[in-house]
């Protein structure tokens, strides 16, 4: 199992990165990305520390940890610049906090993130066909999430991705130990989003492709 959207106490997660990695490993995950919430106020604080800890965790060989970031509640106009800064600081995966129904994210966030060419648009809510088509063209992955609240629109996201050719990834958006759902529940959540067994296999392979790109 791979989870490319997790949080530590560097933002609003409950655990230090080392314990988060251990908990994920115990839940059956072999690769995770630490993608703590960031904006202009903390991006240069978080990423260098996550880069260092990911190296330390990965060298032990139990689980592979990838340094990343989730740009969160930033003005859509700033997403391009922050994406560039995040990559410059060492983030291997850039996630943007999409227009979930459960939080008042600025309108235009989904489109700005896709145009910026981020890696993953998290919980994109009622993403439009225009946005999904552009995500397919730009190679931006759309997230199916196991997290309560954000998962309300999983079915819509899956349908838009299927209709427009966008690629999906499955993430937990983990903030605490109990958020690392096991494989059976993760698969059932994907089925609940309307995905076929074939589509689920492809979605899981998409996460593998992102990891391979990081390692290249």
Of residues 134, 135, 125, 185, the one with CA closest to residue 156: 125
CATH number at residue 128: 3.20.20.140
Question: The whole model's pTM is what?
Answer: 0.97
Going by pLDDT thresholds of 50, 70 and 90, the confidence category of residue 208 is very high
Contacts of 162 (CB under 8 A, 6+ apart): 199
Encode pLDDT of 102-151 as tens digits.
999 999 999 999 999 999 999 999 999 999 999 999 999 999 999 999 99
Given a cut of 90, is residue 215 above it in pLDDT? no
d(CA 13, CA 16): 8
Encode pLDDT of 51-98 as tens digits.
999 999 999 889 999 999 999 999 999 999 999 999 999 999 999 999
Domain that residue 79 falls in: 2-215
| Contact call for residues 134 and 115 (beta carbons, < 8 A) | yes
d(CA 140, CA 118): 6
Going by pLDDT thresholds of 50, 70 and 90, the confidence category of residue 216 is confident
d(CA 127, CA 112): 12
Of residues 115, 112, 181, the one with CA closest to residue 145: 181
Given a cut of 90, is residue 21 above it in pLDDT? yes
> Total domain count for the chain?
1
């Amino acid at each position: 199992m791979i989870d490319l959207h997790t949080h530590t106490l560097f933002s609003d997660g409950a655990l230090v990165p080392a314990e988060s990695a251990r908990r994920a490993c115990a839940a059956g995950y072999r690769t995770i990305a630490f993608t703590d919430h960031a904006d202009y106020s903390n991006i240069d604080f978080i990423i260098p520390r996550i880069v260092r800890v990911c190296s330390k965790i990965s060298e032990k060989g139990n689980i592979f940890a990838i340094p990343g970031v989730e740009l969160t509640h930033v003005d859509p106009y700033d997403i391009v610049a922050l994406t560039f800064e995040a990559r410059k600081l060492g983030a291997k995966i850039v996630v943007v906090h999409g227009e979930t129904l459960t939080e008042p994210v600025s309108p235009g966030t989904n489109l700005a993130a896709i145009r910026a060419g981020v890696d993953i648009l998290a919980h994109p809510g009622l993403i439009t066909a225009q946005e999904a088509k552009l995500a397919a063209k730009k190679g931006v992955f759309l997230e199916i999430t196991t997290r309560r609240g954000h998962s309300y629109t999983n079915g819509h996201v899956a349908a838009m991705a299927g209709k427009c050719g966008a690629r999906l990834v499955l993430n937990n958006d983990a903030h605490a130990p109990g958020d690392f759902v096991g494989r059976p529940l993760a698969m059932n959540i994907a089925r609940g989003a309307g995905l076929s067994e074939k589509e689920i296999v492809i979605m899981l392979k998409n996460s593998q492709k992102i990891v391979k790109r990081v390692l290249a």
